[in-house]
Structure 1
Amino acid sequence: MLEKQTQIFGYRIQDLFCGLLNLDLCVNMQLSHRGYKLVSCKECGGSFSQESALRAHMKTHPRKKLFTCKECSRAFKTTFSLETHMRTHTGKKVFSCKECSLSFRTMFSYEAHMRTHTGDKPFTCKECGRSLSELSSLKRHMKIHTGQKHICKECGKSVRSWSQLRYHMRTHTGEKPFSCKECDKSFSQFSHLKTHIRTHTGEKPFTCKECDSSFSQISSLKRHMRTHTGERPYSCEECDRRFSEKYDLTKHKRTHTGEKPFSCPCGKKFSKNSTLKRHIRTHTGEKPFTCQYCNKSFIQKSNLFKIHMRTHTGEKPFSCQECDKRFSEISSLKRHMKTHTGEKPFSCKQCDTSFGRISDLKIHMRTHSGERPFSCEECGTRFSHASNLKTHMRSHTGEKPFNCKECEKSFSRASHLKTHMRTHSGEKPFSCEECGTSFSQVSNLKRHMKTHTGDKLFSCEEDNTGFRHSSNLKTAENSYRREAFL
């Protein structure tokens, strides 16, 4: 263009340009004075000798958003952008993945998804060489190096992107703009709604190639894959322990810092939200987990519920290496092991009796204090131990939760069932050291021992006659009553 203008004027335009003025202005001034027709920019008033120059200039101005969505009034610069946006309302997904049948509204989303199959990571960080599958992921990653953060004015929390800050602000405002049409649940993020929808459809589009397990979220699949690869990408800086999930690392760090961010109105603090939820149930009395066999309810699903189920299944996964005895709980095995080691580290200061467990010592101390803190609401009887009250309550309710699989007899106590089972097995574990006679119950052995010692522990009030068995005493007392009646 400059060469052409030089031929028109017969001299070089640069000769008129001192370096302080704008070259375009200088050219336009010369053209306008020579009588050439100029075209003007309606945005800023700039003049140009050619339409092509004006079109190029117009790109320096932000384009007006001319195309408006009738659903939500959002405006877009192009019809293509509007059409793409409309799919968020219609739900139309025009791009389908041939690998897993997932569909997408935009080509951009489709291409990003395909990389989960191909493993392609075209975006590389120049600082550390890490490759990522999405440009947005690279941008977020770069903020690790630059240290750029967006700060929440409400609570001071810092996040790496403006979008993350926008999502975070909804935790303060309570805004949940995305609603499920099936159940009216609302969500603060569209991705959360999208994931929730799959609970209705049952869709699990992400499949593990190793074991064919399917998942509703790509993040769940990624976590699952670590069970195959053994990958633990999250490392604790304090003790070098590694974790497969970032959330587990966050929880672990609290063991070093002592942080307990979850508070109950009663003043107790917890390091885990799940622990707080379980604690809250001690106030509300809620027991959401019910046994399908006996309808007993529990506060938490994990340990108590699993352990209780073993009373029905008979499962005893923990075995003693010393005597092969098996137990349904690891705590029971640990207690049992002390019978081999003889370890009793907890001693009573009143009578020097020692115990293998501190809980047993606490219960024992009530024999000195006379404390009976557990009271029956039906009859007022008090007990020193909660388990004794629990067993006693069955005398009122008639509950017999322990069933014999051989003859379907039921018992209110596990010990009674255990004794009964010996009638089927023929087991007689209690032996007399004097004559070798064996018995199925320790009470029978004690009665038998009196035949050797000559003890007569039961005395008649009428004539002080001694008897070895209470049944013999009762027979004698009944005979006295009959004689008195006659």
Structure 2
Amino acid sequence: MSGAFGADTYTLLRPSPSKRVTSLSEERDSLPPAFTSVRDLLNMATPAVSHLEQEKGSNGRGEDLPRTHKCGECDKEFRQLSDMKRHMRTHTGEKPFRCEDCSKRFSMLGNLKRHMRTHTGERPYKCDKCNKRCSDKGNLKKHVRVHTDDKQYKCKDCGRQFSYLCNLKKHMRTHTGEKPYRCDECSKLFSELSSLKQHMRTHTGEKPYRCEECGRQFNVSGSLKRHMRTHTRKKPYKCEECGRQFSLLENIKKHMRTHTGEKPYRCNECSKQFSLQSNLKRHIMTHTGEKPHKCEECGSQFRQLEKLKIHMRTHTGEKPYKCDKCSKQFSVLDSLKSHMRTHTGEKPYKCEECSRHFSLLSNLKVHMQTHMVRSHTDVRSAAGSSVGWVI
């Protein structure tokens, strides 16, 4: 092409490749606010070639197309006007694509399509090695490296290796303590963007992951996976010491401490140690006197949320635990367990003095007082006898 630029010689690409622009003002009116001058419009013009050839970045003769479309904000250049328009949304914040299920918005249609799979559960990409399915093509590519053992990125501090540079960068923050992602609502900091996104759902209340069995919803996909095991009864983690099985990895790790005796959580006040962090937190309240869980009915306060829930049943009359033998109901699980011994005849509590067994610990304690009374009586009798002997 030669000669001065003319509207009849060039076309501007639109979402539909067949539509030709007949008026520069018409095209300008449809552009984002950043591109309102004719000069800007002319700078973005590109020769009219087929849509398919432009997708490939070729002009049909095997030559790369020039990057004639320049972003006025950051000077990044593009071959196609449509690409530049998509890019402009990173500056304007425009998100025209909306999820009808959860109202989340996206700047690109492809991102919305990928997001929809979190609702539908669709995983169209399958690994040829282990048949694992992924919802995203990029995730499948990352997964495949598990089989190839291609880990070219190595941490200089601890020697750990990674398949992806981005994973190494994330890992390095465990050494540096860097937390570059900040929550605008509560100022909490995170080392990973994904962690911030998950945290934001605690503010928005968004729960995009739904159980197809019972309809319960979760804000994290991992929580949905763990929940699903309550339906499938699957317990993939087995203790090699005692054979006990667990549905969650963190639970078997905690259980293993019952075998090793490990107590990694230590109280700074009294140096008492605990195998579980939750137990340490409860213990610390015995020093601080803190009872954060308060009953709104009667004002009673509790250190543990579970204790408050049990207490609330005294107001509601709820008795969720039912005996399979006689249908008697109880508000506390321990009460049901104690009751079951009336059917099984089990008596796990033994008196060390006379070897008598009891089904309830409270009954053993009452019984132990009979030995204490006899002991005091024997002492007094012996004392009286001694006095009489002297006389």
Give the alignment's TM-score, normalised by structure 1.
0.49
- Look up the equivalent residue of 1:381 and give its one-letter code: S
Deviation (angstroms), 1:364: 3.8
- Look up the equivalent residue of 1:445 and give its one-letter code: L
Q: How does 1:47-196 map to 2 (within 5 A)?
A: 64-65=9-10, 71=19, 73=21, 81=49, 84-85=50-51, 169-176=88-95, 187-189=106-108, 191-192=110-111
2:179, 2:192 within 8 Å by CA — same for their partners in 1? Answer: no
Deviation (angstroms), 1:444: 3.2
For 1:183 and 1:287, locate their aligned partners in 2 and report how far apart those are by CA, in whole Å. 8
Q: How does 1:307-322 map to 2 (within 5 A)?
A: none
More deviation, 190-199/237-246: 190-199
- Correspondent of 1:256 among 168, 175, 183: 175
Local SS of the residue matching 1:266:
coil
Please give the per-residue CA displacement for 1:62-103, whole angstroms capped at 9, x wherever unaligned.
Answer: x9437996636298856xx3xx43xxxxxxxxxxxxxxxxxx
List alignment gaps of at least 5 residues for structure 2.
23-44, 57-62, 376-391
Q: 1:43 to 1:213 in 2, by over 3 A?
A: same
Deviation (angstroms), 1:270: 0.9
Give the structure with higher Rg (CA).
1
- Correspondent of 1:416 among 335, 345, 370: 335
Equivalent residue number for residue 360 of structure 2: 441
Percent sequence identity is 44
Equivalent residue number for residue 306 of structure 2: 387
2:179, 2:189 within 8 Å by CA — same for their partners in 1? Answer: no
Deviation (angstroms), 1:392: 1.3
- Look up the equivalent residue of 2:196 and give its one-letter code: L
Deviation (angstroms), 1:341: 5.6
Equivalent residue number for residue 24 of structure 1: none
Equivalent residue number for residue 127 of structure 1: none
Please give the per-residue CA displacement for 1:151-171, whole angstroms capped at 9, x wherever unaligned.
Answer: 9997x8x99988898755422
- Correspondent of 1:275 among 168, 191, 195: 195
- Look up the equivalent residue of 1:392 and give its one-letter code: H
For 1:291 and 1:215, locate their aligned partners in 2 and report how far apart those are by CA, in whole Å. 18
Q: 1:172 to 1:393 in 2, by over 3 A?
A: farther
Q: 1:435 to 1:348 in 2, by over 3 A?
A: farther
Local SS of the residue matching 1:276:
helix
Q: 1:278 to 1:294 in 2, by over 3 A?
A: same
Please give the per-residue CA displacement for 1:160-213, whole angstroms capped at 9, x wherever unaligned.
Answer: 988898755422212457789999987544654676798999997655444566
Local SS of the residue matching 1:434:
coil
Q: How does 1:21-60 map to 2 (within 5 A)?
A: 43=3
For 1:204 and 1:371, locate their aligned partners in 2 and report how far apart those are by CA, in whole Å. 47
Equivalent residue number for residue 222 of structure 2: 302
1:65, 1:77 within 8 Å by CA — same for their partners in 2? Answer: yes
Local SS of the residue matching 2:180:
coil
Residue 149 of structure 2 corresponds to residue 231 of structure 1? yes
More deviation, 315-324/376-385: 315-324
Deviation (angstroms), 1:380: 0.8
1:232, 1:242 within 8 Å by CA — same for their partners in 2? Answer: no
RMSD: 5.6
Q: How does 1:332-371 map to 2 (within 5 A)?
A: 346=266, 349=269, 355-357=274-276, 359-367=278-286, 370-371=289-290
Q: 1:244 to 1:371 in 2, by over 3 A?
A: same
Local SS of the residue matching 1:256:
helix
1:264, 1:280 within 8 Å by CA — same for their partners in 2? Answer: no
For 1:291 and 1:394, locate their aligned partners in 2 and report how far apart those are by CA, in whole Å. 28
Q: 1:300 to 1:444 in 2, by over 3 A?
A: farther
Deviation (angstroms), 1:255: 1.9
Deviation (angstroms), 1:391: 2.0
Q: 1:332 to 1:161 in 2, by over 3 A?
A: same
For 1:200 and 1:329, locate their aligned partners in 2 and report how far apart those are by CA, in whole Å. 24
Q: 1:391 to 1:286 in 2, by over 3 A?
A: farther
Q: 1:390 to 1:370 in 2, by over 3 A?
A: same
Q: 1:199 to 1:423 in 2, by over 3 A?
A: same
2:318, 2:331 within 8 Å by CA — same for their partners in 1? Answer: yes
Equivalent residue number for residue 463 of structure 1: none
List alignment gaps of at least 5 residues for structure 1.
1-40, 45-62, 86-104, 110-134, 140-150, 457-486
